[in-house]
Structure formats: C-alpha cells, structure tokens
Structure 1
Amino acid sequence: MKNKILIIEDSSTVSRLQQTIAFQSGYEVDVAMSLREAASLVKNSPQPYFVAIADYVLPDAARGESIDFCIRENIPTIAMTGLLSNAIREHILEREVIDYIPKENIQAFDYLRKLLVQLQKNASIKVLVVDDSIATLNYITTLLERHYFNVFNANNGVEALEMTEQHPDIKLVITDHEMPEMDGVSLTTHLRKNFSNENMGIIGVSSSDNKALSARFIKNGANDYLAKPFCTEEFYCRVLQNITLLEQVETIHRQANTDYLTQLPNRRYFFHVCKNMINKRPSTERMFAIMDIDHFKSVNDRYGHDIGDIVLQHSATLLQRHFGEQCIARFGGEEFVVFFENTSRNEALRVLEGFRVDLQDTAVSVVQATVKVTVSIGFASSHNLGLNELIKIADQRLYTAKEIGRNQIVSSD
C-alpha cells in the first residue's frame, strides 16, 4: 500500500506541481483547497496520512491554522508559504513541523521532492544520538523521529561504541562533545577505526565557546559540526545533506560492483568478497562453479543481441533463485560463477543440477520467438587451494563439459 499524502493548497498551479511531485515520489494523493475540505478528507480517510503539505494562508485559514489542524490530527506536516518574513517563519517553526519551505523559486520544489522521497526511506535508516543531557537527547530524538528515522540513544561515548557493535548498520551518529567517560571527539576517533566516512556519517554537536572544536571534530573524522543552540531548519538540512551524501556514495559503490545488464555482482566484487570469505575461514572446504550458456553466440546471431540480453537476464534470475544465499556473479559475456559457503559438496552439486534442469526446461518468450537454452558447468572443491587455482580447475572442467556434449556438470577429472 502506498503512503498517503494530504496537500492543502488554494493555488491550483502550485497544487498541481505539488501533486506531480508527490505522485512521482510514490505517494497516493488527496488535495484540499481549504481548511474545511482538509478536515472533511481527514475525517473520512480510511488510511492515515503519512505526511501533509500545508499552505500557511488559505481562504478560511489566514494565519497558519491549517498547520495547527494537521498537527492536532497527528499528521507530520511540511509548511509552505509564499509570504517571506521572519515573523511568519518563526510563527511556523514554533510548531512541531517536519520542515518549513518558502515558495520563493523552483529550488523550493526540488527540495520538497527530495524531502518527500527521503521521508519514505528514513524508517530503514538507523541514527544514533549520543548526549549525557536527557533533555537534549530527547529533543534531538524527537526531531529525528518526526522525520521517521529509526533512532537509538546513548548517554556517553562508551555506550555509543557498544550500541554500534550491536547495530553495525547505524548510518549516522550525532554526538555531543562534553560527556563523562568518553567525549565526542574521542568517540569519533574510535568510531573511525571501524567505520569509514563512506559507511557512517558523524555530526559533532557542542555548546562550547571553543571555536577550534569544530575543526577538532572534523580532523578526527566527523563529517559535520553543529553549534548549540541550533535552529531546527539547520539541523534538518545538515542531517538530510549527510544522509544524501552517504546514499550517493552507496549508489556509486553499488554501480561499481554490479553488472549493469543482469544486476548481479560483477567480477571485481566477486573476487573481493570471495577472498575475504576464504581469509575468514581458511580451513573450511571451498567450492567454486563456473557455468557457460551453451551456443549463446548462435542465440545472438539468430535472434539479435536484444534477445540475447533477455536470455542473460533470465539466466541471472534463475541463478538468484537457486543460489541466493551464495556468492554469485556474472563473470563476463555468457559466463556466471558461484562460490559456495556453509554447504557440503553433495549439496552444492545437487543445487547446481537443479539450476541446470530449471534453465533447460524454462523457455524465454519474446515477440519474435520462444528461446530455450542450456548450460555447461565446471565444478571444483578443495580445502587448501586458493581461489585462482579453483577457478583454473573449474574452467578446465567446464571446457570438458563442452567437449563431451554440453548441458551437464563436470566435477572431477
């Protein structure tokens, strides 16, 4: 079920733009041109609203009453207004809004788009807040939970390190400096021993008058710094900016490690992961299979490369279905590989045979034709050979499988 958004806006032009942004961001949309219409929609909606976009001035609500209404109804609210004054800004920010966006140019709507997309991601993003002041801890936690973040708390640096051990997927740490047992800069230094700034963002926070503290935080590995007291707008901008940068880095890494056509891990990532697996368990039996789609060149020559690509994607889907828990990759061209962990030789061969039969029996239907392919597989296992040696043996056995008729597994010489 899509998240539902309530747009309260009396300008049809602005409302249409907001609707387009909301639809493109994956929301189901309700629109009200007045506070009265909004109240009726909220009363009769069978599904609670995930978020509201409320205009400050409406025909029947000239001083932000629409914002107050949404907050009373427990609807997280983004306030937007075309009136640019400090008094109105302060009047809005006195309320518990998600954010305040002035409608002064097109960049405001680009920011709205980013915010609506991010809000739906935030429930899966873990943020750790570290502060020995209960009041500050609760305040920052409330701000983050208003944006749907999954928030964890720690009262000092030692507790924070324990929390990151329990939850190594924490994406952002917001830490005070002046704390007992371990201060914020020391915590940052310890965190950077285990988490790079590509995997975890750190924002230092302090009310200290020491102007060099921000530089100390950043030189010791923090991504950002906030001086207390801070305004909520700046807080949200910095949090969003740091999360966005982490996501962009993650996207770059994923693209670098993923085969574009099949969305399987690529050769580079396969070697990186498998070598780490071998280093962690040097005495366990390691098993490797290399497989090659039979007569694939003929598929491309007869049906065209577009159909060949569909066959590769189909094969990749079956690979994920059969070997989802193992390390798999597209090795290049029509070659795929599997590195087996936590399984027996017999079980590995059983699953490989299941994949071979499934591919053989499953047709790829396209407009021009129905295409069926088979696969030849070379398999090797050892307790002491390295990955490169295993690949060489399995590749020789793949060649043998091709030579003796294709569509089979060769697991011994």
Structure 2
Amino acid sequence: MHWALQKRKRSAKLQSVAVTSLADTSVNDTMRRMLQEELDLNDIPSLARADSSEEIHVELGNQGVSSTSETSLPEVVSNLVRPIDEEDQSAIVDNQERDDLLASVIHSRHSTCEWIVEEKCMSCLFQEYQKLAIEALFAKEIKKVDVADAIATFGVFAPYAPTDRMLSVFGESRLESAAPIVKLQVEEEYDLCVLKAIRLRMNDQRDEAFEALENIKNRKIRVMFATLIEHLPLDKGCRVAEETFVATYIAPILLGMLRANDKVSIHFPNTMCVTQKDQGMRPDRPDIIAKIGRRELLFGEVTGPCQETYRAKNAWDFFRLARFGKSLLGDNPFAPLIQIVHTKGVYMRLKVMARGMFLLERVGAFVIPTSVDMLPSLLGTIQTLSAAKDDLDMLLEHKPGNRKRSWDFPDLPITKKLLV
C-alpha cells in the first residue's frame, strides 16, 4: 500500500508538471522523456480501487483544480500527452532520416583521391559540403534559390549553380574549374534558308517561305521549321496552360531535333492525365521522356507560361530532374536532362564523377519560340539541341549492363522540409 501511495503522488506530480508546461507552451526534452517513461496511463484507473474518497490536486498556473478519481482523469491526461507524443514522433522520424543521409555520406567514402583541383580532393570537399547541406535541410535553412544544396543531400553536385554554402567549402576558382564551358558545334548549313523563310513569313508570303525551306536536306529539321512557320503567330504569343504549351510549342521542336532515328520516341505523359487531375492526383513522373522501346534515355521538366515566375515550382522541377537522372545511370554512362521554363530551356548532363558523387553539368541553353519573330533565337541556340541529339546517338550505341553500385543515397520521403 505504501508503494501504491508513492506511485500515486509521483503520477500526480508529473501530471501537474505536464499541465503547467502546456500552459507555458514550452516543454523541454527531459520532461517529455519523463512523461513517456514514468507516466503509465494503464495504471491510473487503479487509483480508484485504492481510495475513492481521496482527491488528487492538479495545479494549473497559480490555481488549483481538484478532481476525484471517479472523474475522467485518464482522458484528461491522455489529451495532454497526445500532442507531445506526436511531436516526439516527428522528431524521431527527422532524426532517423538525417542519420540515414549522414550514414550514406560515410559509406560512400573513397580510399584514393582521384579528382584533384588546386591540391584539394573535390570528393572530400563534396562530402564536407554534403554534411553542411544535410544539417541545413533538417534545420529548414535551405531557400528556394539554393536548390543546389538540396540535391547535394543525395549526392548530386551542380557547380554551375553555386550557392553561398557551396562557395564556403569549394571556393570560386575550384567551382569554375569543376564547371567548364562546353563548346558546341555551330550549325550553319541551313541558316540562310531559315532566315529567308522567316523574312518571307513576316511579309505574309507563306508559299514563298515554304519554298525557301525546301533547300534544307534534313527532312525532320525542314518539317519542324515548316510547322513552326505555319502555326506560330507573327509577333505575339498567348498565355496558355502547361499541357497546351507542351503540345503546341515544345512538341514540334523536340520531335524534330531529338529523334536520332525512327526507333527513338518522345513522350509527354503528364499531358494525358485528366482523370488523375480531376481526382487531385499528380503522377510522380517527368513531363518529357525520350526512350527506345522500354529503355528510357532522357528526362525533362516543363513550366508553362502561367508559372514562369514561380520560383518554388522551378526549383522543385530541378530537384526532381536530379532525382530522376540518377535512375538512368544504372544502364547509361550519363543521363541527359532538359528543363524548360516557358520560352527558356537548359540542357544538362548527369554523370558519375567519383564514388558517391554525381556531377551535373550545364551543356547549353535554347529558346522555345512562341511567335515567328522568335524563330531567329531558336536558330541561334539550336546547337544545344543538336548536342542533345548527339548524346542520344551515343546512348543508342551503348549496350546497357547490369551494373550495381555498393553505395547510394536514400530518397527523401518528406519533401515539405525542402526549399523553405
């Protein structure tokens, strides 16, 4: 009986501390552990069997609130403890995710430093940068403009998009050496034909414009420019939905430039999910997929004109591209990636640079014209799309192997912590 009275007094004291802490809206970790370890709700109903006439006093601030053991005290205490348990559970999940990512960084360590820039190993510096990015991620310090820090948490290094955190570890000169400028081959064989056709179309001479394109030997390029000259407005584009923008403006260009041969097919899967949109569901798949048979070769993400200035959406597309690109590296030596934000496109390559380190390099930019007067801009940047076509040719000749990596980084199931 003496033991039962001591346990009852201790439980009442802990309940008083819980109520007072909730009133102050601040509960420290030590007290929360005491509540979980010492306060057993299953034992509280036994107080009624001990002595039904004795009262239990629970202090709330400076006021005393009394209730007998016959009242619903277990329900009151359970309501007080429940939000604390949920908060602790969230903290446990966050700590476990952070520990998994840090363990992946340790597991991907290398024994020999191979990539040396200015007498420093870039892989070793990248692991230091990864740890800083992981801690910043779970501290909710990564901003929308620092999306390169977010993709570094699962091993992707984007030196062409430096952040303050990246510069503090690598330095500006090392980042410039790690992200060299890619020299593209200039296409000149059909420049005069296209410029002449554009000039004729601006003068409303359609037939003469199509005749000027007949001198282009490549049939797909000829059909692409003929389609754009015929359907694009003269000097003003309209703001349409993303699905309409993909089908009207992007599809003719990618179908004309990226189809290395008839075996390559270009798909736009997110333009055909009307039912899923009605149900409020968004498929986790890229907006653009180039593949041969069932083998995927290229991924792309698109932002329509209505969300052009929405930085969170553009940053999230960049994050998804890096995550999708890693899945291509099991069968391919590199992963071609395209991100299009309204009329501006960027072509990138993702490749394995070192153990646990994926290098994302920027190849070049291109323009998606929405009117005839923007076609010269496409003509001036078409060498970027030609480089993407050449990369697809290389991947077609490459035979995929069943390579397995002993290292990788877990995916992040909770995306709400990203890009705050």
TM bin (shorter chain): under 0.3
- After TM superposition, the score normalised by the length of structure 2 is 0.26
Computing the radius of gyration from Cα coordinates, the structure with the larger value is 2
**Would you tell me which structure has more helix in proportion to its own residues?**
2
**Would you tell me which structure has more strand in proportion to its own residues?**
1
Name the structure, 1 or 2, with higher relative contact order (CA <8 Å, separation 6+).
2
